């Protein structure tokens, strides 16, 4: 019975290691080979975004270890060092658990810094005129299960998964007169978290906004303005006049300034 349990654990750990290695390697290919890194929030916020070269080197070393430990585990198993082999196979899964928590960590860190900087020129989203259109709208469940799996580990096209983005996200495009302060990755989005350190959180209302945007069939103008009061009363307001086909409408969208649920 012990022998059967050992073989089952070995098979389970090895399969999980291979799956996580493939997921991480594909994320690396997407981020660096295809140059399709999704910057959610300030790139410099969070240890993963401190320096692009540092993050690149970390990923190279990390991928090497994700290969080395399973190989070592298999070799040790063949030499009948069963407990040591299982330990070697288990270590990559421990690191996977750390990365599973990473989206929550990064979100909490970004939100704390965001609140500390509210009312300054570093407040998100920068004041000025922005545009949204149906072409910039993405639906979470249109992504493949593979992309959604990467999101749980803070990787891929939807880092943080549904909890961070919700059903839809709509990327904001700056007007040529708007000073973006060098920021990117700004979006209207939903999600299960309260407020947003990198965009405008509409919560469940993102679905209604997506419907309105589809009906409008033209880009919508977003005007961002901040009060001089911080932090909750100094929330950004965004007015989006909708030139809908069925008549003139106006939708007022307020950035939800709340405390982090975490």
> What's the confidence (pLDDT) of residue 158?
87
Average pLDDT, the chain: 78
Residue 201 CB-half CA count within 13 A: 23
Residue-wise pLDDT tens digits, 170-219: 998 899 888 887 777 788 899 888 767 667 888 889 999 999 998 888 88
Residue 203: both structure tokens together: 């919560």
- Length of the chain counted residue by residue: 262
Q: Mind giving me the DSSP string for 164-212?
A: HH-SEEEE-EE-TT---TT----EEE--SSSS-SSEEE-GGGHHHHHHH
Residue-wise pLDDT tens digits, 45-79: 344 445 667 778 888 999 999 999 999 999 999 99
Cα–Cα distances in angstroms (integers) from residue 143 to residues 136, 151, 154, 161, 244, in the given order: 15, 10, 15, 11, 28
Is the separation of the CB atoms in 150 and 20 below 8 Å?
no
2-28 and 52-78 helices cross at what angle (nearest 10)? 160
Strand-pair category, 187-189 with 199-201: parallel
Q: According to DSSP H, which parts of the chain are helical?
A: 2-28, 52-78, 82-117, 145-151, 162-165, 206-216
Q: Residue 168's CB: how many other CB atoms inside 10 A?
A: 22
Does the pLDDT at position 257 exceed 70? no
């Amino acid at each position: 019975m012990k022998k059967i349990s050992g073989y089952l654990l070995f098979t389970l750990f090895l399969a999980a290691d291979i799956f996580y290695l493939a997921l991480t390697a594909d994320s690396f290919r997407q981020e660096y080979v295809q140059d399709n890194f999704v910057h959610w929030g300030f790139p410099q916020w969070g240890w993963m975004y401190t320096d692009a070269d540092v993050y690149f080197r970390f990923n190279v070393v990390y991928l090497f270890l994700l290969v080395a430990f399973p190989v070592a585990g298999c070799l040790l198993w063949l030499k009948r060092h069963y407990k040591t082999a299982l330990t070697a196979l288990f270590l990559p899964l421990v690191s996977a658990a750390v990365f599973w928590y990473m989206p929550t960590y990064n979100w909490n860190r970004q939100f704390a810094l965001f609140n500390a900087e509210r009312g300054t020129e570093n407040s998100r989203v920068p004041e000025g005129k922005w545009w949204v259109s149906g072409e910039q709208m993405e639906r979470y469940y249109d992504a493949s299960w593979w992309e959604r799996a990467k999101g749980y580990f803070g990787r891929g096209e939807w880092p943080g998964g549904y909890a961070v983005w919700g059903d839809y996200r709509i990327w904001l495009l700056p007007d040529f007169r708007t000073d973006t302060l060098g920021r990117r990755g700004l979006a209207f989005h939903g999600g299960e978290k309260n407020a947003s350190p990198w965009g405008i959180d509409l919560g469940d209302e993102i679905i209604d906004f997506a419907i309105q945007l589809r009906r409008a069939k033209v880009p919508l103008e977003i005007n961002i303005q901040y009060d001089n009061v911080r932090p909750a009363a100094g929330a950004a307001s965004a007015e989006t006049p909708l030139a809908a086909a069925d008549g003139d409408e106006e939708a007022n969208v307020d950035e939800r300034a709340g405390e982090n649920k975490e």
